[in-house]
Amino acid sequence: MVLMDTLSRPLRTLRVSVTDRCNFRCPYCMPREVFSADYPFLDRKEILRFEEIERLAAIFVAQGVRKIRLTGGEPLLRKGLPDLVARLARISGVEDLALTTNGALLPELANPLKEAGLQRLTVSLDTLDPAKFKKLCDSEIPLARVLSGLEAARSAGFGPVKLNCVLQRGINDDEILDLATFAREGGHILRFIEFMDVGTQNGWKLGTVVPADEVLAKISELGDIEPIHEPLTGRVVERWRYRDGLGEFGVIASVTKAFCGGCDRARLSAEGSVYTCLFAGAGLDLKTALRNGSSDVDIGAMIANTWRRREDRYSELRGTHTAPASKVEMFHIGG
């Protein structure tokens, strides 16, 4: 029996945050003025151990999950991550195992991750301008390091690598064609993401959003494009291809064309709470149940009962109702 929420959406995807820390300070996620050196990040004992993540993942798979994506913070900061990947890859029923990263540590970790069983990689890349990259990431890690990570991923056998670009008006919307050309010529799949009001710290305003339709019109300057039609269930990206056969790209229009109706995702935070929406104000604590001796059946029932009551559709209602007073921050549940 398929586990459904109140809007008949199945539970199919689990995003797992393995750390709340990051080596970048991107303003739309972890602005440095908030997340400074003295910010109270989670203590090691508060974070789920690999065996706990493995156990919870297996319980989620028993509830219908088929896709798992590792996130952060920056997941490659988690020591020994290939071991976790290997654990998850062995779970029967997992059909897709992926990871989203800023790419800075891929030169060292691309091969170990591939060998451990990771199937797909997504790398965040908001600009191709080295000076702008330094400003956007607020880090001393150079753009060249991330580009080296892309090459390492290719050499390790990941391909095509997906690139995520969060567009912001007046910040990087002048690079749409440059980024599209870079991805197209490099054999990557670029996805332009509308800037979202995730959390409470990123200074989001509607005027900073670059609508997906504007992106499509701009990319049409490179040549004819056409949509790639596929089932709507669980889809968050609108896929397009170049008619000359040289690649594809996507747009994620979470603000202008909300896709809540097809959302099949649950999000597990690094300290073991499950959130049923990217814009949620609170999560379900599973770590306490894990460490208090609850059985897999009991924890599975907790997950199922929470999902069955799920009615989240914040993006569809944006502007028509009051948002949660304290939304979970993006770095906490990996976007």
Confidence of residue 149 (pLDDT cuts 50, 70, 90): very high
Q: Crossing angle, helix 81-89 and helix 50-62, to 10 degrees?
A: 30
pLDDT at 200: 55
Mean pLDDT of 168-189: 96
Q: What is the pLDDT of residues 29-60, one digit of tens each?
A: 888 888 888 889 999 999 999 999 999 999 99
Mean pLDDT of the chain: 90
pLDDT at 28: 79
Query: What is 84-153 written as a DSSP string?
Result: HHHHHHTSTT--EEEEEE-STTHHHHHHHHHHHT--EEEEE---S-HHHHHHHHTSSS-HHHHHHHHHHH
pLDDT at 232: 58
pLDDT at 253: 86
pLDDT at 127: 97
| Residue 259, pLDDT above cutoff 90 | no
Residues 6+ apart with CB under 8 A from 324: 279, 280, 281, 282
pLDDT at 218: 96
Q: How does strand 13-17 pair with strand 265-268?
A: parallel
Domains and CATH numbers, the chain: 13-333 (3.20.20.70)
**Residue with tokens 């968050």, as numbered in its chain:** 236
- Token pair in block for residue 279: 């814009």
- Token pair in block for residue 21: 């820390």
pLDDT at 230: 76
Confidence of residue 16 (pLDDT cuts 50, 70, 90): very high
pLDDT at 95: 97
Q: What is the pLDDT of residues 186-208, one digit of tens each?
A: 999 999 998 876 655 566 677 88
- Token pair in block for residue 4: 């459904």
The four Cα atoms 147, 151, 157, 161 give a dihedral, to 10 degrees, of 30
Range scoring the smallest mean pLDDT among 44-48, 52-56, 231-235, 279-283:
231-235
Q: What is the pLDDT of residues 104-140, one digit of tens each?
A: 999 999 999 999 999 999 999 999 999 999 999 999 9
CA separation for the pair 166, 99 (Å, rounded): 17
pLDDT at 315: 73
Share of the chain above pLDDT 70, in %: 90
Ranges 59-63, 195-199, 320-324, most confident: 59-63
Amino acid letter, 172: N
| Residue 318, pLDDT above cutoff 90 | no
Residues 6+ apart with CB under 8 A from 205: none
> Considering only CA atoms, which of 152, 140, 162 is closest in space to residue 24?
140
The four Cα atoms 181, 182, 188, 189 give a dihedral, to 10 degrees, of -50
- Token pair in block for residue 130: 């080295």
**Predicted TM-score of the model (pTM):** 0.93
pLDDT at 335: 61
